[in-house]
Amino acid sequence: MLRHQFGWHRRFVPVPKRKQWDGIFVFYEVISMKTLGYYNGKFDEIENMTIPMIDRVSWFGDGIYEATYSHNHKIFDLDHHLTRFYNSAKILEINIPIPKDELAKLLAELVLKVDDGDQFVYMQCTRGSAPRNHIYDADMKGNLWVTLTPQPVADTYTPIDVITFEDKRFLYCNCKTLNLIPSVLGATAADRAGCKEAIFHRGDIVTECAHSNVSIFKDGKVITHPLDDKILPGTARIRLLAFAEKLGYETEEREYTLDELMNADEVIVHSTGSFCIPVAHVDGKPVGGKAPEMLKKIQDALVADFEEQCKAE
């Protein structure tokens, strides 16, 4: 009855070959949904979920989040994302209610319940639930959220246009917190300018984007802002640097300026869902386009890694 009430339907999938018994396929039932929302053990279609008003996210945006994608119902680069998720929680003294390995298993199970194999996989943990008070108890149990929505990764080969935007964020950018007002303002300003991203800068120094990291290519070298409290330690940034080095290119982690950005051989925006997207225009001025071979080699390597991690069984 509940399945019909909530719009779920039933589908049956074969157990993978390694789980066959005596060569006979065994089928198991999976609840199949268009979207999925999860909150502290309860799940349903997202529009049917409700959240208590005393969750500290309502008062203070007090929590951390993480996001990746699934392809063929397999979650991409999950270990890196969970490591960052738990690191953010540790820095901010947020108690995620289950261990990392259990969360990995939970997410793997939840993505199978959504029809589409290509999903935006979002998780967050708020500090907990209590009446409004800035002060929190150290042992407060966190509230775990998950949302799954159909969405493929972006086309990493199609260039985008961006704007520059003054970086006014506070200095916890190395934590993936829910306090995203500056990013919301930057992303909206970019959209209103007909662009896809906003590149943040503090004075003349480029930091990152509203919801991505940004790097430049110059003279066969990948240059990116160093890890500190002004940027997020992006998982796509890790992969970009690793594959660039594997392909024989130098990498350098240092501060670079807006002038260096405008005169780079390539300007690259990178995130889990975009891999390595080239920028064609910054504030309406053409940039990049001077290292197409280097760009294509790195893009191809990143796409191949994604397909390998998420290949169908």
Q: Which residues contact 23 (CB under 8 A, 6 or more apart)?
A: none
CA distance 215 to 217: 7
CA distance 309 to 42: 29
Q: Half-sphere exposure (CA, 13 Å, Cβ side) for 278?
A: 22
CA distance 172 to 46: 29
Contact 187, 210 (CB under 8 A): yes
Which element (helix H / strand E) includes 231?
A: none
SS3 label, residue 181: helix
Exactly one of 17, 34, 141, 176 is catalytic; which is it?
A: 176
Residues in a beta bridge with 45: none
Q: What are phi and psi of 128, to 5 degrees?
A: 150, -165
- Has 176 been annotated as catalytic? yes
User: Which residues are tagged catalytic?
Assistant: 176
